[in-house]
Amino acid sequence: MASLDEVCQKIGYHFKDSELLTMAMTHRSFSAVNNERVEFLGDSLLNMIIAEALYLRFPDVDEGDLSRIRALLVSGKTLATVAVEFELGRFLRLGAGEKNSGGQRRASTLADAVEALIGAIYLEAGFEVCRERVLAWFAPRLVSLNPDASHKDPKTRLQEFLQGRKQPLPDYQLVETAGADHQQTFIVSCSISLLKSSVSASGSSRRKAEQAAAEKVLLALKEIE
């Protein structure tokens, strides 16, 4: 595994407690002492820090839009992108099976690592330092935000599209669940009256699979409009 000193350089924070950093970079497949608990902490901190930043940055935006913007910023997809920017996959400690199956590139694993780092920084240096680091990592995204743009998730956008045309709501069905308990893949179909056939998509949770299916339906609707 690459030197963890490189992690510190990339994230802009030097850990005094190397064991804390090591834990944050350890997947549950590698050891019973892993980053799950500190990732749980980091998830809560991230939501708080981003919520505060949006509240202060956009005083005229209502709660619903703020929630949607926050959901976009703290989504697994965004966090995985941050992890790729830091090249965290190089530093993750993974079990042999997880590593051989490409765990160092798996979006959910990378996103968890970012949250684990946030939790670890908080435990070592406190909230103010943690907030400063998170805001620095997310600064380009916060600066480029347009609060007037639609940040609604695909399921909400599809529902509103159909309601606006007085059409029945979409029907989501779980088609298949595959993989081990800790690494499941969900396949969901989405059917609407405006399309002749249903559309299927997969995700690491049923909710994510439904969102992906709704996005595919929206793209299909654009092609026939």
pLDDT tens digits for 69-84? 898 899 888 999 999 9
Residue 63: active-site member: no
Residue 52 in marked binding region? no
Q: Does the annotation flag 181 for ligand binding?
A: no
45-77 pLDDT per residue, tens: 999 999 999 999 999 888 878 888 898 899 888
Q: Where in the chain is the domain with CATH 3.30.160.20?
A: 154-224
Question: What is the end-to-end Cα distance of the chain in Å, rounded?
Answer: 51
Please state which of the four CATH numbers 1.20.1260.10, 1.10.1520.10, 1.10.510.10, 3.10.560.10 is assigned to the domain occupying 4-143: 1.10.1520.10
Q: Which residues contact 158 (CB under 8 A, 6 or more apart)?
A: 170, 190, 192, 214, 217, 218
Architecture (CATH level 2) of domain 154-224? 2-Layer Sandwich (3.30)
pLDDT number for residue 1: 46
- 115 labelled catalytic: yes
Residues in the chain with pLDDT values less than 50? 1
Q: Which of 65, 115, 153, 215 is catalytic?
A: 115
| pLDDT for residue 225 | 64
